[in-house]
Amino acid sequence: MPAMLKNSPNDQKDTNFSCHIVSISKSGQIVIYCSRYQESKEEEKENIDSVQQSTSHQPHCHITVKSTKEIAGFNELDEAVKRLDFRSAVRDVRRFNYICALLDHLIGQQMTGMSGCTQKALLAMLEEVARYATTSQHNPRGFRRLLNKLRALSTAERSSCWGGPLGSQLLWHQHTAKIDRILNMASEFQIKEPHPDLHPKLLNLPEECIREIILRLSDHRDLTASAQSCDEICSIVNEQRVWRELTKFHFTTQQIELVLPKDTETLDWKIIFNSLKKVYGLNEERQYAEMLSLCKYCRCLFWKSLGHPCIAEQCPDFKARLQEAGGITPPAPVPPSAFLKFFSL
């Protein structure tokens, strides 16, 4: 989940971390996952090794954006999944939500009509998501949503009275075994509260620190859930500043001005946020800490933080021509829904 940075340019506070509401216990304790401060040494080392391994080969995938008379081609989803190293991306906290959203679009009835290689790649990704979610206790909401779709898929496949899914019986026996493993991992998934002797707890922090954590939650559902935990958190969440910053994070100034009431002295930013959400919806690009990007010069999908071997950087003559034409155009972000449009599903 991306962090909302609301510090001024002169502010030197470190904001390079993301926070997530993991669970809220019956006793009112909130478990918040901060990718920098609360990672164990093993998880931190695993993330660093994964990033270093990915950086060494810069996972990327060339695609055909549009077929023409001269170029007739198509893109294979399973090949893109392998080349972009999605299984390793699951273990990166910045990309986990993106992978879950991608699987949320794919896991369902349409999966039975995909090729066997694509089915194997998707279930392997889902198994990696289940393994990471159960060990790190990260993003249980997205994981449970995927599980509901997976159970529905398994039930529909077993209860079908005629026909069958695309692929051999042996292949679907393997898929069924993998689905059972995922469901078994999910049945053992349980959010563990911090040990009573573990300090400091969230409510032991100064109010300013708690407010800074709350201000970095970019999902309104996390704000609503955290407000139900205790009175201290509820009072902070109900502050106008929290909802004002959330509104400015998701919507442009022009959009906000269209719904602002004439009486600016009695502004309720929570109502303004909900009104804008109904009219415009939430910007998909603002819901992920990192997304895939599309290079407009070499037609290549890649992770922005890792980069890719671009022709604009490797060819001096081509780079010089681009500079003369007005400079290099930055890569375009690719949300999950836009990513799937490159493939025939």
Rg of the chain, C-alpha, whole Å: 23
The residue with greater pLDDT, 199 or 31, is 199
Residue 151 phi, psi (nearest 5): -65, -40
Per-residue pLDDT, 160: 57
Supply the DSSP string of 189-231, one letter for each residue.
--PPPPPTT----GGGS-HHHHHHHHHT---HHHHHHHHTT-H
Classify 263 in phi/psi space as left (phi over 0), alpha (psi -120 to 50) or beta.
beta
Taking residues 171-190, what's their average pLDDT? 83
pTM above 0.85, yes or no: no
Among 73-87, 107-121, 156-170, the minimum mean pLDDT is found in: 156-170
Separation of alpha carbons 111 and 105, rounded Å: 10
Q: Mean pLDDT score of the chain, rounded to an integer? A: 77
The residue with greater pLDDT, 300 or 22, is 300
Q: Determine the distance from the C-alpha atom of residue 284 to the mean position of all C-alpha atoms in its chain, rounded to a whole number.
A: 10
Taking residues 34-47, what's their average pLDDT? 44
User: Is the per-residue pLDDT at 15 higher than 80?
Assistant: no
| pLDDT tens string 78-118 | 888 889 988 888 888 888 889 988 888 888 767 777 777 88
- The alpha carbon torsion through 224, 38, 59, 181 (nearest 10 deg) reads -80
Per-residue pLDDT, 150: 83
Place of tokens 């890649």: 302
Q: Is the dihedral of CA 325, 326, 327, 328 positive or negative?
A: negative
Buried b (16+ CB within 10 A) or exposed e, 11-44: eeeeeeebbbbbbbeeeeebbbbebeeebeeebe
User: Is the per-residue pLDDT at 32 higher than 60?
Assistant: no
Separation of alpha carbons 239 and 214, rounded Å: 11
User: Is the per-residue pLDDT at 137 higher than 50?
Assistant: yes
User: Is the per-residue pLDDT at 25 higher than 80?
Assistant: no
Per-residue pLDDT, 301: 92
Q: Are 247 and 276 in contact (CB under 8 A)?
A: yes
DSSP H helical ranges for 137-168:
140-159
Task: Identify the top-confidence range among 21-25, 52-56, 172-176, 320-324.
Answer: 172-176
Cα distances (angstroms) measured from residue 174 to each of 65, 128, 170, 178, 179: 34, 16, 6, 6, 9
Per-residue pLDDT, 93: 85
Q: Are 214 and 226 in contact (CB under 8 A)?
A: yes
Separation of alpha carbons 256 and 157, rounded Å: 47
Per-residue pLDDT, 50: 46
Half-sphere exposure of 155 (CA within 13 A, CB side): 7
Q: Are 293 and 304 in contact (CB under 8 A)?
A: yes
Q: How many CB atoms lie within 10 A of CB 74?
A: 10
